[in-house]
Amino acid sequence: MKRRRFTAKFKTKVVLEALKEKYPLPQLAEKYKLHPQQIRNWKKDFLCGAESVFEKGKKKAKSDEEEEKDRLLKTIGQLKVEVDFLKDALK
């Protein structure tokens, strides 16, 4: 028997319906032909990852900080090479 694959859109639909708690979990499972534990797992994953939705702005800022850090480290490396070269030239 081939395993069924579910799209993110389908999983989200099921999880949101489960979060509304309009129907008991076994009834939702029967409606979508799923095992109740599968819905529990999707719900847990959804809630654990929900924080990342609001962190998009922070990731952008962190990316800018990382770019600035990389640029500064490159400059430091270049200046170190130049200083070492000049030290050798004066000897």
Give residue 23's pLDDT.
93
Cα distances (angstroms) measured from residue 35 to each of 40, 41, 54: 9, 10, 30
Which tops the pLDDT comparison, 66 or 77? 77
- Residue 52 and residue 59: Cα distance in Å, rounded? 9
Q: How confident is the model over 41-55, as pLDDT tens digits?
A: 999 999 998 887 777
- Torsion angles phi and psi, residue 7, rounded to 5: -75, 160
Tell me the whole-structure pTM to 2 decimals.
0.58
Which tops the pLDDT comparison, 56 or 53? 53
CB atoms within 10 A of CB 24: 11
Give residue 79's pLDDT.
92
Cα distances (angstroms) measured from residue 60 to each of 55, 64, 67: 9, 6, 11
